[in-house]
A and B are shown apart, each in its own frame.
Chain A
Amino acid sequence: MSIHTRHGIYLGLLIPHMLMLGSCQNVLGFSTATKFGLDISQRTDQTIDISMGYDRTEVASIPAPKDDDATESGVGMDKDNTDAYSVLGTFVVTYGNPFLDQPLVLDQFFATGMAARKAARSPELQKFFGEAAGKIATKNNASTQPGGGQ
């Protein structure tokens, strides 16, 4: 094996390891990516993504509690003062061809942790999220029915 080939193999092994070591943090994050060409990257959910050509991704990464916490869901605990991780939000992404004046537009609203629990008690927000969920369900039904589409 020539020295150039070995260097290529070492580099190929090194880059994914460096990507994995880069940011292993357990945080709530929402990310988008538009790529054209060769790209090796770590997504918000900490998986390695390798793409060649055009690729488009939207990822929502929400930290989950450990299994032992989840199974006993609040038994013996003060539910108002303990919070696994509550998230309430809407995430609207509009995008087109970035080279044809079709910009990326993001509209995001998120309530996290205890604030999400409190916000969920708001009648106005309950109505807003109910309507939003209804629109999404209607759209999904229309697209899954025979002859339906968007």
Chain B
Amino acid sequence: MMQSRNPLMLGCLGLLLAPFFSACAFRSGNMEHYIGPVLFRYAMPPNNNAYVSQIVRLGPSAEAGISWGVAMGLSERITVAPLIAKTGQKNQTANYSHWLMPLGFSQTPAAGEWNFSLLYLCVEREPGSFFLSRTITGVEIVFGEEANALTVGFAHRTLFTPPDNAISSLHFEDARPLKSRAIVWLDVPEHGNLSDSLLKEVTK
């Protein structure tokens, strides 16, 4: 017959294993911190036409900062930040994005492919994301800027918030998020003489 287990030992074991089976996220204005295991990939110019991040967490997870919540299951968060284009010129200025795993073997994860962070992932970027996609399969309760929801089952939400006094273009495919295309034109000419690149993007 199996002997009763020591609750103290089980508790210690649980505490030791907890970081490996739960991920906590803290997001502020331009910094994101992920403690615990997360699967992620990202894309940025010049290879891509937008700044895209995709972060997947499995199991129990929590988030704080701009949104607060807890989730149990498979959760995915995709953000898209645009290129900033000047309507009269061809060159494009851009946001910035830095991904770092200070406690990992390879501190700088590769762009364009899946990476795994076991302990800690830090993302620094300009707060210019204008498209957000959140998916949960499981149970989630979240409150804040990104969503206010209680979900039991499956939910996929997207939110597009174009900036004021600008022209924005977004192409997003759920199956190929890294191929997203996002451009913002800020200085629109007075008499509507729009550049060829803008018109091509709009009428595509």
Which of A35, A107, A118 sits near B189, CB closer than 8 Å? A118
Q: Which residues does chain B contribute within 8 Å of A40, judged by CB atoms?
A: 149-151
**From A36, which residue of chain B is reached at the shortest CB distance?**
B154
Q: In the complex the two chains form, what is the Cα distance from A101 to B147 in whole Å?
A: 26
B158, B161, B167, B174: the one contacting A115 at CB < 8 Å is: B167
Say whether A122 faces chain B, with CB atoms less than 8 Å apart. Answer: yes
User: Which residues of B (149-179) have their CB < 8 Å from a CB of A?
Assistant: 149-176
Alpha-carbon distance A125/B202, docked complex (angstroms): 8
Q: A15 to B143: give the CA distance in the assembly, Å.
A: 10
The size class of the interface chain B forms with chain A is: 35 or more
Contact yes or no, B143 A98, CB < 8 A: no
Complex interface: chain A residues within 8 A of B199 (CB): 122, 124-125
Distance in angstroms between the alpha carbons of A108 and B158 in the assembled complex: 12
Q: Given the interface contacts A32-B158, A101-B175, does A107 sit within 8 Å of B170 by beta carbon?
A: yes
In the complex, B91 has a CB within 8 A of chain A: no
Q: Which residues in chain A, 83-134, are within 8 Å of chain B measured between CB atoms?
A: 89, 98, 101, 103-115, 118-125, 128
Known: A42-B148, A121-B191. Is A33-B157 also a contact (CB below 8 A)?
A: yes
Is there a chain A Cβ closer than 8 Å to B4's Cβ?
no
- Taking A40-B150, A112-B166 as contacts, is the C-beta distance between A119 and B143 under 8 angstroms? no
Checking B156, B189, B202 against A98 with a beta-carbon cut-off of 8 angstroms, the contacting residue is B156
Contact (A110, B168) CB under 8 Å given A31-B160, A41-B149, A44-B159? yes
Inter-chain contact A34/B156, CB cutoff 8 Å: yes
Least Cβ–Cβ distance between A29 and chain B, in angstroms: 5
* Partner of B165 from A22, A39, A113 at Cβ < 8 Å: A113
The answer, yes or no, to whether B56 is at the interface (CB within 8 Å) is: no
Question: What residues of chain B lie closer than 8 Å to A98, measured between beta carbons?
Answer: 156, 174
Is B185 an interface residue, CB under 8 A from the partner? yes
**Is A140 located at the chain interface by the 8 A CB criterion?**
no
* 1/0 contact string of A20-35 vs chain B (CB within 8 Å): 0111010111111111
Evaluate contact between A30 and B202: CB separation under 8 angstroms: no
Do residues B155 and A34 form an inter-chain contact, with CB atoms below 8 A? yes
Q: How far is the CB of B192 from chain A (nearest CB, A)?
A: 3
Structural contact, A23 and B145, CB atoms closer than 8 A: yes
Pick from B144, B155, B164, B194: contact of A33, CB below 8 A: B155
A115 to B155, CA, bound (A): 34
Nearest chain B CB to A23 CB, angstrom units:
6
From A30, which residue of chain B is reached at the shortest CB distance? B160
Question: Given A36-B153, A36-B154, A44-B159 in contact, is the A18-B175 Cβ separation under 8 Å?
Answer: no
Residues of B near any A CB (own CB < 8 A):
143-145, 147-176, 185-186, 188-194, 199, 201-203
Q: List 17 A-B contacts (CB under 8 A).
A: A23-B148, A30-B161, A30-B162, A33-B158, A35-B155, A36-B153, A36-B155, A37-B151, A38-B152, A38-B153, A40-B150, A104-B174, A108-B162, A108-B171, A111-B167, A111-B168, A120-B192
The 7 closest A-B pairs by CB, nearest first: A37-B153, A121-B192, A22-B148, A41-B149, A122-B192, A103-B175, A103-B174
